[in-house]
Amino acid sequence: MVDSNGQEASPGGGNRPRPAQRRAAQWVRDYARLPGIPDEYIGEDGPRAVWTRFFDAFASLSPADIERRFGAADRHLKEAGVTYRAPGESADRHWALSHLPLLIGESDWQQLSSGIAQRAQLLEMVLRDLYGEGKLIADGAIPAAAIAGSNEYLRQVCGIRPPGGRYLSLYAADVGRGPDGRWWVLGDRTQAPSGAGYALENRLVLSRAFASLYKSMNVERVAPFFEAFRDGLRGSADRDEPRIGVLTPGSFSETYFEHATLARYLGFLLVEGDDLAVSGGRVHIRTVAGLKRLDVLLRRVDSNSLDPLELDASSHLGVPGLIDVLRKDGVVVANMPGSGVLEARALLGFLPSLCRRLLGENLMMPHIATWWCGQKAAREAVLSRLDDVAIEGAYGRGVPGFESDGPVLASELSRADRERLVAAIEERGIDFVGQELVRLSTTPVWDQGRIVPRPFVLRVFAAATPQGWTIMPGGFCRIAEQLDARAVSMGGGARAADVWVVSDKAVSTHTLLPGTDTVRIRRIAGVLPSRAADNLFWLGRYLERAEATLRLVRTLGTQQRDPGKGSSSLQHAAERIQRMLVTWGAVTQLSRSQPAKVAAEALQAEERFGSCLSLVRSAQRTATSLRERLSPDAWQVITEMTARLAEEVEDDDGIVSAAELTLQELASFAGLAQENMNRAAGWRFLEMGRRAERAINTTRFARQFAYDEATDEDLDVLLTLVDCQITYRSRYLVAPSLAPVRDLAVLDPYNPRSVAFQVQALTEHIASLPALRESGLIERPQRLAVAVQSMLATAEAGALDTKTLFALEQDLLNLADAIGLRYFPHGPNASRPEKLTGLA
């Protein structure tokens, strides 16, 4: 029973708090704010209003409901494949999301965003001068050594006016709340700021898990920021409908998932250096339809790796000739090469005076007190209070001469190391800075039913637009696990959190999708880069090869459960299956006495390149490079297949069950591709990979089990492998016979599993792709496909002996190679267009 004040009426007549109120009160009582450390939840005067409002609503959820929603958020992250890779690691980690957001009130946010906008404009003006007139160095406002010591200062860019008019299109600052309660800047990110894509994913996950709470809190949307950023990049180009690419180092980048997320969300192409070529003073994308002009490049590659001709000659990540294209105003690069120079800690101490000089106003946001040891007075000040400061490298990560990537605390060094540090600072002070030790504020995180304080760093993003700087209302928050986290040592927070900027009034439910009255109709998504076509083709081949191997494994495993498995004919068929698995690289050797062991090895052997597990993992790696082109459902199917095959199986039943379930998942993926993918070039290359591999494998099956002396058991195995048992039985009503089985598996154009059907599909796909020759003459892939199709159309089943089938297999392999040479232009033998025609 509840009274009018929302209290539960007790049997004795008194009132007691409702369960939600009791939970909220308990959280407050148990929350132990760290002594002397500012906290986002508990201020000097008690709980902050924005957090009280949040926890009152959050407490209305039962403990079971809270855990269910947390579980749903974690499942979404896993199923969506949200990952990152820590520096120095080769394996991806699953994304660790703190289930509670960081909350920032509207008035607090306005002060923070104003300071970020001012700082972004200041840094833009500093870059204009450093690569332009050079007055700041000439007048001594910035010591020349502070710039020259950075390998991010690119002399090759000096004098180049940035196409599009800006050095910085995207800026980010790492901030934390200092002991005085104000936001402090911990570092500037001007090279290629990362984290915006992860911030977007965090928002999508948490807003779905707590949809009602998210709506009731009036959380500012991030979509307007991304729209402004996208429009700013579009407006920087010199034509109305520019083509924009996100330049990524590739799928082995630490933050590749973010690159794919941004490309997909903003509608940009995801490209690598090999996808691009310079011609006629412009940058072009290599596509299956030839070279297509690229107008804007949002780079996620460091400056020094952008052009091996003028910068780092060993780099394979960039585009040869890119700097020269910039000189000719031929492409917009965001951010401009060389902008990373402003990330140097050596410059932090000069920013207040630069702000007064360039903007005529004081710097709104303070940063950690920093002394660059390249100046005598600052160096002496640092050495005199060495135990009270953290020593950092003036440029980049780590401290020169010390292994750690983070700061060095002299108070924690041995005597020998301390003396070595002092000597290094005295000898070459320009490489070092001293920074004040500052403890960050803490924010609530969820820990086994309680809320506890943890230090955090917030990365705030600013996008350049014609109207000025637009600040993302939110950001990328990293939370440390340890309690004693100093500001200068928090670079790799253990968890991420969504950031909610909370308004007192209703907010716009803006989306990045265009309004219905502004949509321009189009039916082709855009160009298909040759690398993407290559990956789609091989994704199809890997999955189809995995299916063929799974069918061999299932057939071998099923025979071991058959009561008649001891017959010589079945043993002979089992040996043929094992020989195929050996030839395909799925197993090391056959075993007459232990065929189940062979089946298990072919299914799960990690060290065998042709095992089912290895093939599916190869497909997953290839799919990783196509994240922006695959639906979440398709990615989930591939992930689940990999996980299933990695689970250990113990007996024949387990082997057969794992093979059958994985075959079902492969069928699911094929269905998703067939029903959901646009019938554009990307779908065709995925289909061509599947059709080519299926034709090759079916021919191999026929050669092994439909030879002239094949037994009934051999033919029965072939029908099982090509999934035609039911078709054959319904068509012939007799035991397997050689000629009808050959016809059904190889020549029948109406059977979707036959070789002829695959070749017919390949011929149609190739004919639908853009041609590069002006002459109109048939190109080699189509010529080979038509020749094979004609051979199959005129062949007779009785003449399909082993020699003929082997020749057919070679023709199919040559056709697959011809497709690769023609449409995947990477390397010296790549085809080049005679004229830039066609659409991809």
Tokens representing 106 are 């509207």
* CB atoms closer than 10 angstroms to residue 481: 12
Give dist(CA 415, CA 410) in Å, integer: 9
pLDDT of residue 498 exceeding 70? yes
With cut-offs at 50, 70 and 90, classify the pLDDT of residue 128: very high
The lowest-confidence range among 283-297, 306-320, 509-523 is 509-523
With cut-offs at 50, 70 and 90, classify the pLDDT of residue 11: very low
The lowest-confidence range among 54-63, 397-406, 776-785 is 397-406
The lowest-confidence range among 110-124, 423-437, 639-653, 704-718 is 639-653
Tokens representing 470 are 């637009």
pLDDT of 33 reads 85
pLDDT of residue 378 exceeding 60? yes
For the sheet with 282-287, list strands across it: 276-279, 282-287, 290-294
* Mean pLDDT, rounded, for 311-334: 95
Q: Which helix (H) or strand (E) holds 774?
A: none
Cis peptide upstream of residue 335 (ω within 30 degrees of 0): yes
pLDDT of 34 reads 84
pLDDT of residue 625 exceeding 60? yes
pLDDT of residue 67 exceeding 50? yes
Region label for 784, one of left (φ > 0), alpha (ψ between -120 and 50) or beta (otherwise): alpha
The letter for the amino acid at 155 is: R
Residues of the chain above pLDDT 90, percent: 64
pLDDT of 675 reads 87
pLDDT of 825 reads 62
CA terminus-to-terminus distance, the chain: 67
Give dist(CA 528, CA 806) in Å, integer: 34
Average pLDDT of the chain is 87
pLDDT of residue 512 exceeding 70? no
Q: Which stretch, 90-94, 629-633, 749-753, has highest mean pLDDT?
A: 749-753
pLDDT of 567 reads 63
Give dist(CA 378, CA 370) in Å, integer: 9
pLDDT of 484 reads 61
- Residue 219: name the closest of 442, 536, 503 by CA: 503
pTM, two decimal places: 0.86
* Mean pLDDT, rounded, for 91-103: 86
* Mean pLDDT, rounded, for 134-153: 94
With cut-offs at 50, 70 and 90, classify the pLDDT of residue 181: confident
* Mean pLDDT, rounded, for 285-304: 93
Give dist(CA 51, CA 42) in Å, integer: 9
**How long a stretch of residues is the chain?**
840
- Tens digit of each residue's pLDDT (9 = 90 or more) over 225-282: 999 999 999 999 999 899 999 999 988 888 898 999 999 999 999 999 999 999 999 9
pLDDT of 724 reads 94
pLDDT of residue 70 exceeding 50? yes
**DSSP class of residue 489?**
G
pLDDT of 527 reads 79
Give dist(CA 380, CA 366) in Å, integer: 23
The lowest-confidence range among 330-334, 458-462, 732-736, 779-783 is 732-736
- Tens digit of each residue's pLDDT (9 = 90 or more) over 662-675: 999 999 999 999 88
Is residue 715 within 8 A of residue 734, CB to CB? The reply is: no
* Mean pLDDT, rounded, for 606-617: 94
pLDDT of residue 778 exceeding 90? no
The lowest-confidence range among 75-79, 136-140, 306-310, 379-383 is 75-79
* Mean pLDDT, rounded, for 314-339: 95
* Mean pLDDT, rounded, for 357-362: 96
* Mean pLDDT, rounded, for 421-438: 92
Is residue 345 within 8 A of residue 433, CB to CB? The reply is: yes
**461: helix, coil or strand?**
strand
pLDDT of 178 reads 83
pLDDT of 50 reads 92
The domains of the chain are located at 387-436, 530-673, 678-840
Tokens representing 29 are 């009582």
The lowest-confidence range among 249-258, 337-346, 465-474 is 249-258
pLDDT of residue 472 exceeding 80? yes
Q: Which helix (H) or strand (E) holds 463?
A: strand 450-465
* Mean pLDDT, rounded, for 487-509: 74
pLDDT of 495 reads 87
* Mean pLDDT, rounded, for 636-658: 88
* CB atoms closer than 10 angstroms to residue 692: 27
764 contact partners, CB below 8 Å, separation of at least 6: none
643 contact partners, CB below 8 Å, separation of at least 6: none
Give dist(CA 444, CA 451) in Å, integer: 6
- Tens digit of each residue's pLDDT (9 = 90 or more) over 530-563: 999 999 999 999 999 999 999 999 999 887 666 5
pLDDT of 363 reads 96
639 contact partners, CB below 8 Å, separation of at least 6: 78, 79, 81, 620
* Main-chain phi, psi angles of 53, to 5 degrees: -60, -40
Give dist(CA 638, CA 633) in Å, integer: 9
More confident position, 569 or 764: 764
